[in-house]
Amino acid sequence: EAQVTQNPRYLITVTGKKLTVTCSQNMNHEYMSWYRQDPGLGLRQIYYSMNVEVTDKGDVPEGYKVSRKEKRNFPLILESPSPNQTSLYFCASSIQGVGELFFGEGSRLTVL
């Protein structure tokens, strides 16, 4: 089954405790991206990757890091989480173009 898998799906953590949200896709997609979704603000792009070892900032990259060492994986790293990073995070991938995205199920993160 074609899918984008995110882990963890739910996480409550405390300010400053480093965490990683993993994302893996099994569709051999070259393009992957991370978004956060907040009420009233919609989906905002954090980082994206056109291919292995190629990453670039989206609209809200502050406080986040990513890496793309393998085609299938695109982890999102929060080195020192803060409460304003409490959000719903989506990983997405695409093969046909930037806009035709296939989304993971989402990871709801709460930073206390």
Interacting residues toward other proteins by CB under 8 A: 31, 33, 35, 40-45, 48, 50, 56, 58-59, 90, 97-106
Shortest Å, Cβ 27 to other proteins: 14
Nearer to other proteins, 9 or 17 (CB): 9
Q: How far is the CB of 88 from other proteins (least distance, A)?
A: 9
Query: What is the nearest approach in angstroms of other proteins to the Cβ of residue 93?
Result: 12
Residue 92 or 111: which CB sits closer to other proteins?
92
CB of 80 to other proteins, least distance (A): 26
8 A C-beta contact, residue 56 and residue 65: no
**Backbone dihedral angles phi then psi of residue 27, each to the nearest 5 degrees:** -110, 10
Torsion of CA 85, 15, 79, 61, to 10 degrees: 20
Q: 15 vs 46, which CB is nearer to other proteins?
A: 46
Q: Count the neighbouring beta carbons within 10 Å of the beta carbon of residue 46.
A: 24
CA distances from 75 to 39, 41, 45, 62 (A): 24, 23, 14, 16
Backbone angles phi, psi at 53, to 5 degrees: 65, 10
Q: Residue 38 or residue 79: which is nearer to other proteins going by CB? A: 38
